[in-house]
Homo-oligomer: A and B are copies of this chain.
Amino acid sequence: MADRPKAVKLAKKHREVGVAEFFARNKHLLGFDNLRKSLLTTIKEAVDNSLDACEEADILPEISVEIIEMSANRFRVIVEDNGPGIVKKNLGKIFAKLLYGSKFHSRKQGRGQQGIGISAAVMYAQLSTGRPAKIMSRISAGRPAHYMELTLDTAKNEPKVIVDEEKPWDKEHGTRIELDIKASYQKGMQSVDEYIKETAVTNPHATIIYVNPKAEQYVFARVSEELPRKAKEIQPHPYGVEVGELIKMMGDTNEKTLTSCLQKDFSRVSANVAKEILQNARLSPSMNPHEMTREHAESLITGIQETKIMAPPTDCLSPIGEELLEKGVKKEVRAEFYSATSRPAIVVNGNPLQVEVALAFGGEQEKDKPARLMRFANRVPLLYQQGGCGITKAVTTTNWKPYGVQQSGQNMPHGALTIVVHIASVWVPFTSESKEAIANHDDIIKEVKLGLQDAGRDLNKYIKKKYKAHHALERANLFERYIPEVAHSLAKLTGENEQQLVTDLNNMTHKEQLVGNIEALKAENVEYDEEFASIGKEEKEDVDGETEPEGST
């Protein structure tokens, strides 16, 4: 036995790890790090799903969110929507199987991406309280509503159906989920209240009825009857494909020739472009893609790089738009100047991505604090992990001084400023499965910085104008002081009426107009909503859980 290799004994320990087992132990990766965040994550996953489902079915969303405190650290969360409902066959997997969904394999903008979120919430409920998820769903008036109680079998990553029955429901179509979870509720910048509020801002087409555990009801009625532009699915763009992926795509394609594969499976490849790519790659257009070797794939990549290909279409994106973005900010922040910009889409790893930025400056915002940063990805507010987010990095590595904003080193700019950044993309690279922060991707950081600079230039123009107007007023005030003396001397010299001269000289200062100029510079705050702005605010913040950095990344 002595010379039996140790490897033989060690080999017996090697086993497969189930994906649900993995995430059950690493539930912090899914946003369930602490009790406060667990409440937010649970609601976020349910609401994001509801919004996605409604939009996919062209339904103006009406979503109700209710949180009931059952006992200490025990909450019941109920989220109900008027979406298209879910067919019975898929109900179990959608709610109780990780990595199952409709978004991963379709390249188009959505809140969900990977089919993890809501099943993770169901898993968290069962781990923390042992209780199954209660699901109700109905797909049309002509069909019954299905009621299910479900848990997730973590060993197999499969749903376990405990109750399955038809139930009467007054809703014609929609879905309702009820979860009992261990959690804690607290207002503040990282609260469910704040999440719901910011969601209302970036989803003006949705009505959200929200009852928090203090039984306070808020109704965020939709302000737009128009659904956002529907995002279209696109194929991968050739520029974003790496050797390994290319080999896989060629192996999987249904096309019989390289030229048709390039045109069918990729975005922006016309017959002419395909011809040019293949010429540059020195490959035959009639070659069977299934016969592609690694050497061929490397040539093809070179061919692609040497060919000028149009940027991917951007109708797969659904940005918020400058106008709505500015409107949303005005509702929340009472500033004196607003500016919003939607950048043209860029391509990141072959996927279109669009950056939108809004700035709100001055007014009643606090001056002696770091600027407030509001981050959004595909219309979803990001409330955690500000310090690790690529957006934050873009903000702190932008030089704000040329725009008239204070900043020390590469820290968050300082002063009465709110910065809003929205990233819309077919595939947002988040730093973790819990989708709280954008990865530090050079191209994204660069693009956000360009957006900040666009908006910053407008801000700088405003600050300069404001400075000029104030300066003009100061000069007028100075001149005014000498008017009596000047009038007196002039009267003596010319014999004119001294009082008349004073009046004339006073008119010459145009002081009223100068004051008017300053007032005119300030943005109107007609859209500011006192009640709205106060939602979720609390004096003492972030006692529980993660406190967010205000400074540098």
The interface of chain A, by Cβ under 8 A from chain B, is 3, 5-8, 10-11, 13-19, 21-22, 24-26, 28-29, 33-34, 53, 56-58, 84-87, 89-90, 93-94, 97, 99-102, 104-106, 114-115, 126-131, 139-140, 142-143, 154, 173, 182, 242-248, 294, 297-298, 385, 387-388, 409, 411, 427, 429, 431-433, 439-442, 546, 549, 551-553
Contacts and interface: CB of A to CB of B under 8 A. Distances in A.
Contacts of A58: 6
Interface centre among A14, A18, A139, A552 (most CB of B within 10 A): A14
B84 A243 contact: no
A115 B25 CA distance: 14
Contact of A130 (B6, B142, B298, B429): B298
Contact of A3 (B100, B114, B142): B142
A159 to B, nearest CB: 12
A140 B245 contact: no
Contact of A244 (B89, B102, B127): B127
Contact of A173 (B7, B102, B294): B7
A242 B431 CA distance: 27
Contact of A15 (B6, B105, B411): B105
A104 B154 CA distance: 14
Contacts of A8: 87, 139
Nearest to A396: B549
B100 A15 contact: yes
A127 B14 contact: no
A87 B11 contact: yes
A126 B432 contact: no
B29 A89 contact: no
Contacts of A15: 100-102, 104-105
A10 B84 contact: yes
A33 B139 CA distance: 41
Chain copies in the assembled complex: 2
25 contacts: A5-B87, A5-B139, A5-B140, A5-B143, A6-B84, A6-B139, A7-B85, A11-B86, A13-B102, A13-B106, A14-B94, A14-B101, A15-B100, A19-B19, A24-B245, A29-B433, A128-B242, A128-B244, A130-B246, A387-B388, A387-B549, A431-B432, A549-B552, A551-B551, A552-B552
Residue picked from A10, A85, A409, most chain B C-beta under 10 Å: A10
B33 A439 contact: yes
Contact of A99 (B17, B86, B87): B17
B17 A57 contact: no
Q: Which of A24, A90, A130 has the most CB of B within 10 A?
A: A130
A24 B246 CA distance: 13
A35 to B, nearest CB: 10
Nearest to A143: B5
Contacts of A431: 28-29, 388, 432
Contact of A33 (B182, B246, B441): B441
Contacts of A94: 14
B6 A57 contact: yes
A344 B199 CA distance: 46
A93 B89 CA distance: 33
A302 B154 CA distance: 24
Contact of A129 (B173, B243, B388): B243
B101 A5 contact: no
